[in-house]
Structure 1
Amino acid sequence: MQVSTVEIEKAATVIKLLGDKTRLTMVKILDSHDCCVCEFVEIFKISQPAISQHLRKLKDLGIVKETRRGQWIIYSLNKDSEYYLLVENILQYLPSQDYKLQELEEQGLRISCE
């Protein structure tokens, strides 16, 4: 298996972007679950524009992608990104964040954007 390498400049950009706790947590959640902005608003207890800004930065770099489902935009980890292996290698060292989504579900706040 050939491992692709990422230029130092690009790797630094990815690592800097993931250096933000909120973005890092979002990416860890997206590693196993697709989410919409409204779910992140509830998880992080910050405004929708702030969540959208974080997601825009991740999307601009290609780390996450969005899919429209009716009126909803669903975010997921972009497994086709040139940075995917780098991101995956970082995420493997982080604890699961699934409990955050389970808490949302228990509060009746987990959105089914179908």
Structure 2
Amino acid sequence: MEHESMEETAKILKLLGDKTRLSMIGLLLKKECCVCEFVELFKMSQPAISQHLRKLKDAELVNEQRRGQWIFYSLNPENAYFPLVQDVIKHIPDQQEKFVLLEQQGLRITCNS
């Protein structure tokens, strides 16, 4: 069991080792986001953003909820590694400013169908 836990922890840390995914997690700690918001924030294509989110979802670090045509992502507090994720996030810059910037540019999206 301990070996599996080591493997799983390494997998989670590897996922968080990607700057984009780490930033996404930091943003999701503040509030849920839609793919389209991440596209604006990271200036990346929708397929690239979706790939990052799929990896986080496959590891059960994030939940997705469909509302109409939109899919919203949020952190999964039920995940056994949620406390680890919270600890890691303490060591990166606060991501709130990215939301403020989006709002100032009129790009903060409330994807309500």
2:38 alignment partner, SS class: helix
Cα offset, 1:45, TM superposition = 0.4
Percent identity of paired positions between Structure 1 and Structure 2: 58
Gaps of 5+ in 1: 1-5
User: Which among 38, 41, 44 is matched to residue 42 of structure 2?
Assistant: 44
Gaps of 5+ in 2: none
Aligned-residue RMSD, C-alpha: 1.1
Task: Find the aligned partners of 1:103 and 1:92 in 2 and give their Cα distance.
Answer: 21
- Counterpart of 1:22, as a letter, is T
User: Which among 12, 15, 26 is matched to residue 14 of structure 1?
Assistant: 12
Which residue number in structure 2 is paired with residue 112 of structure 1? 110
TM-score normalised by structure 1 residue count = 0.92
1:45-73 C-alpha deviation (Å, 9 max, x unpaired):
01000000000000000001101112111
Which residue number in structure 1 is paired with residue 61 of structure 2? 63
Which residue number in structure 1 is paired with residue 82 of structure 2? 84
1:3-27 C-alpha deviation (Å, 9 max, x unpaired):
xxx8111000000011000000000
Residues 43-52 or 93-102, more deviating: 93-102
Aligned residue pairs, count: 109
Task: Find the aligned partners of 2:50 and 2:81 in 1 and give their Cα distance.
Answer: 21
4+ residue runs over 4 A deviation: none
- Counterpart of 2:80, as a letter, is E
Task: Find the aligned partners of 1:61 and 1:16 in 2 and give their Cα distance.
Answer: 11
2:106 alignment partner, SS class: coil
Cα offset, 1:113, TM superposition = 1.4
Task: Find the aligned partners of 2:5 and 2:89 in 1 and give their Cα distance.
Answer: 19
1:93 alignment partner, SS class: coil
